[in-house]
Copies of this chain bind each other. A is one copy, B any other.
Amino acid sequence: MTYSIAQAAERSGLSIDTLRYYERIGLVDPPARDSGGRRTYSDEDLGWLVFLTRLRTTGMPIRMMREYAQLRHRGDATTSRRKQMLYEHRTSVRERIAELQSCLDVLEYKITHYEQIESTFVEGITVEGITA
């Protein structure tokens, strides 16, 4: 099963331009071409694209994804390196979730106490209180 660039875009959630951009910067291997020179994405290509979108969604910078892609390209010898990268990334995602959660808590508090807080914002809550 192969997919046109439009289909690959739809299935990966990336735009057509982004697919070509990712290829240009070496994040994805150039896909096969049909007789007319058009890109044809395989299921494997799609799988990789979907995985990349996960990494991107979780905030991995493109240069790191590229590093991962390059390691992947070098095959099994780099498995542990890649695993290590995923470990580290997992940690940072967890930290990011915790950070968001903590800000969310402040937000909840602020919403709940909105009227009071508005007038006594600094003393009561933001500086001495929850913020700490």
Contact = CB atoms under 8 A, between A and B. Distances in A.
A21 interface: no
Count of chain copies:
2
A107 to B, nearest CB: 5
Contacts of A76: 118
A90 B101 CA distance: 10
A101 B97 contact: yes
Q: DSSP class of A's interface residues: helix, strand, loop or mixed?
A: helix
A76 B86 CA distance: 48
Contacts of A122: 43-44, 46-47
Interface of A: 43-44, 46-48, 50-51, 54, 57-58, 76, 79, 82-83, 86-87, 89-90, 93-94, 96-97, 99-101, 103-104, 106-108, 110-111, 114-115, 118, 121-123, 126-127, 131
